[in-house]
Structure 1
Amino acid sequence: MTILYEDEYIICDDDAITIHFYYFPLGSKRIPYSRIRKIEAEKMTWWAGALRIWGGNLEYWLHLDPKRPWKEKLIIIDEGEWTKPVITPEDHERVWEILQQKTDKTLTYSPT
């Protein structure tokens, strides 16, 4: 398995994306690229993720990331479940590029 991208919280390999510190207290979530239905990138605002270090609601769940308040963009992954994982990788553009290459699903990019 070749690692295409890795930071403290996100690993993208040939087959899937792994989100560390997704589940409480320390569980990881692995999502095969083939299960991804849609991916959206959005500018992070104080109301949309910047104030949340970990957690979420029934619609979105953000992995643990104490650096999130200083980041500008997030990626929402829709795998067909009720709750969509939200990630904030250190290199947003690189992860977005890998997801584009590894999925043939609808990708929406809105940050400016």
Structure 2
Amino acid sequence: MTTTYYQDRWITCAQDGLRIRGYYFPWGTKTVPYTAIRSVRRVEMGMLTGQGRIWGTGHPRYWASLDPGRMSKSTALILDLGRYVRPFLTPDDPDAVEAVLRDRMPSGATEGAGDPQ
């Protein structure tokens, strides 16, 4: 049995890593081991900075996982996985997901590192 630390419709923080449903077309799930996360950055969204995007990208550096409810949310989490494209997540409870990620990330990971949006 796998331990689940957090779960909503699109995001699951499980014992072995983060699962992002709806990341790949059409409905594929991306699994990210916690050890692969270099940093997590919290950002406030607006209509021109991700809030109006249901899925995909308007900026080639970030990829927004599918979330039809994103327009009603104001906070996103951006993950640095050491690759050019960074996952852009909008969990129902960003505080809970951020806490799990920071607790499970490698001890050498940095807090909020990366380029500004």
Give the TM-score band, short-chain normalised. over 0.9
Match of 2:77 in 1: 75
- Greater strand share, structure number: 1
Match of 2:23 in 1: 22
Q: Distance in 2 between matches of 1:48 and 1:38?
A: 20
Spell out, residue by residue over 1:18-51, the C-alpha distance to the aligned partner (whole angstroms, 9 max, x if none): 0000001010100000011111001111121101
Normalising by structure 1, what TM-score?
Answer: 0.92
**Gaps in structure 2 of 5+ consecutive residues:** none
Match of 2:96 in 1: 94
Query: Which 4+ stretches in 1 moved above 6 angstroms?
Result: none
Q: How many residues align?
A: 109
Deviation, structure 1 residue 100: 1.1
Match of 1:11 in 2: 12
CA RMSD of aligned residues (A): 1.3
In structure 1, what residue type is equivalent to 2:76? L
SS in structure 2 at match of 1:80: coil
In structure 1, what residue type is equivalent to 2:85? T
SS in structure 1 at match of 2:50: coil
